[in-house]
Chains A and B, each alone.
Chain A
Amino acid sequence: MMFIKNVKRLFCLALTFVLIFLTACTDVENELNASKDGLSSVPSVSRGESETTSKDKDLPDDSSQILDSSIQGDDSTVDNDSTNPYAPTDEPFEFANGLMIIGTRCMEAFGGSYDNATLYSKYVSQHKADLGDAVNVYSMVVPTSGSIYLQDYVVDGENYYEKYGGQQVEKLEYIDELFADGTGVVSLNVYETLFKHWDEDIYFRTDWHWTQLGAYYAAQVFSEKSGLNMADLDSGYYTKDGKYNEDGTAKAFIGAFYASSGKAQVLKDNPDELFWYEFNHDYTVDYYDRETGKTLKTTRNTCYPHINDAAVSSWYMSFLDADNNICKINTGTDNGRVAVVFKDSFGNCFAPMLMSMFETVYTVDFRYFTENSVEFCQSVGATDVLFVLSSFSAMGNNCLNIGKMRLR
């Protein structure tokens, strides 16, 4: 009898420990869900391996420590005038945990709304009104890959763009219309440009972000609209680099879609290549704590701090060290122009592409910014303000953060 009682006690004890573990795991899972909401939510207290800290305070103080980077890789050649007509793939389709996989490319259904698009354009227009005529304000809403690769994809007579595309392209045009209504904001619709380069690596297939090649093409649109000269990729101004092995082969980048698709094997078997572009002149990037304004570190001649190779799904964080910080790129371009880029994670690989067009480029993640955005632009002497964000942010609840930061 006593033995049975003891067995029961032991069982209860073991069950208690199991429950403690499960509770801990559930906490992790909840945080994981929360982080998914913001595309790439990042806690404020953790940094990459190359981090250094200093006691410096207040933006934009000089940095205290310089980190060198080595530039590797081959020069890149791209097709600046791709003319291959778009052809939808005939590869098989599968659902994976609420995502769509066509062939080896994973995509999300688009759920942005016209209402949020309206609010987004309103908040950006309010920034323009506050900043006045002396400051140019631009809006660049970056479409998701589904807006391109779902086009004309038909299965059993059903058009998948119409079913899952959420009218993304039409909503982007709607934003253009709103900005054209006397707001003074220049709307940069990069959809057609990206669509033209559909057969190049402008989006990752295993991650929801675009690549820096896509960002380069988008920056060309900005260059045309703003009248600022931008170096071409084949001009020798850029050097392609990224996560490569010593023999020059690409390391396998398996982005965040892999986990959120429930570990779809086809994504693991067909990894992406994570690349970026270095620039052929001296420049520095200062990183400030987004909450305290303290200088954290400075990188020299690279916008891409080291991210541990083991953290494969997080390699996109290489671009300006993700969303952790406020960054200031001291480009070395001597034209007196200062850009402030209010962005989500899509802006991280775009901002370096402004290198040849501005003397100083600030990047601020509007989701976490705690200061008044208009006062910030004025304090740094901004000549141009860009809003660079994914269509999910512009047409989802994230757009409210753009309105809020003006009111702080």
Chain B
Amino acid sequence: MKKLYIINIVAIALVAIAVISYRAFLPPTTGAAGGGYENRNVVTIEEFNAKNWFNGSFTDSVTKCFTDTLPRRNDLIDAVTKIKSFYGEEIEWGIKPIDLTEPDKKNDIKPDNPNNVFDPLENMN
């Protein structure tokens, strides 16, 4: 019985070490987010000061930075995309739809009177 407990603890410790090592020792994603996926730079951690701390932007940036710089981030995205594809879920990136969606024909209806087009900012004037 005692032997099994030890095996259990060792196994848990090994998994924990593997996860920590993965994050700590593998080279993080740098440069453009996704290193070839997104047309933007990776998020960096905001300056630590009272304002950033209390409005939550500092902790938010830590979370986003962690997510953005996760080692082999693109491979993980690919893996998730493939798993999702088994369920037939259609998302914008990563899963190949059978056919291209035609643009919505409602967009091609020319308004009779431009003044009648609904303006969501109308009441803000």
Contact = CB atoms under 8 A, between A and B. Distances in A.
Interface of A: 2-3, 6, 9-10, 13-14, 17, 21-22, 24-29, 31-33, 35-36, 40-43, 45-48, 95-100, 109-115, 118-119, 121-123, 163-164, 166-167, 174, 178, 254, 256, 258-260, 262, 307-308, 310-314, 316-317, 322, 324, 345, 395, 400, 403-404, 407
B100 A99 contact: yes
Contact of A403 (B11, B92, B114, B121): B121
Given A43-B41, A97-B96, A166-B103, A28 B70 contact: yes
Nearest to A313: B36
B85 to A, nearest CB: 11
A210 to B, nearest CB: 14
B93 A254 contact: no
Contact of A407 (B19, B70, B121): B121
Given A112-B107, A119-B119, A317 B91 contact: no
Given A6-B8, A21-B76, A100-B100, A313 B117 contact: no
Contacts of B45: 45
Interface string B93-125: 111110111111011111100100111110011
Contacts of B96: 96-97, 262
A320 to B, nearest CB: 14
A405 to B, nearest CB: 11
A256 B119 contact: no
Nearest to B63: A27
Contact of B106 (A2, A113, A164, A260): A113
Contact of A258 (B36, B110, B119): B36
Contacts of A40: 39-40
Given A111-B104, A164-B102, A28 B67 contact: yes
A256 B1 contact: no
A110 to B, nearest CB: 6
A332 to B, nearest CB: 29
Contacts of B117: 115, 118-119, 122
Interface residues of B, number: 65
A256 to B, nearest CB: 5
A311 B36 contact: yes
Nearest to B76: A25
A259 B76 contact: no
B28 interface: no
Contact of A110 (B95, B103, B118, B124): B103
Contacts of B33: 32, 35
Given A29-B80, A43-B43, A400-B120, A313 B11 contact: no
Contact of B39 (A33, A114, A115, A316): A316
Given A95-B99, A95-B100, A314 B32 contact: yes
B24 interface: no
Most interface-central of A13, A115, A163, A322 (chain B CB within 10 A): A115
B37 to A, nearest CB: 5
Contact of A98 (B15, B100, B104): B100
B12 interface: yes
B83 to A, nearest CB: 7
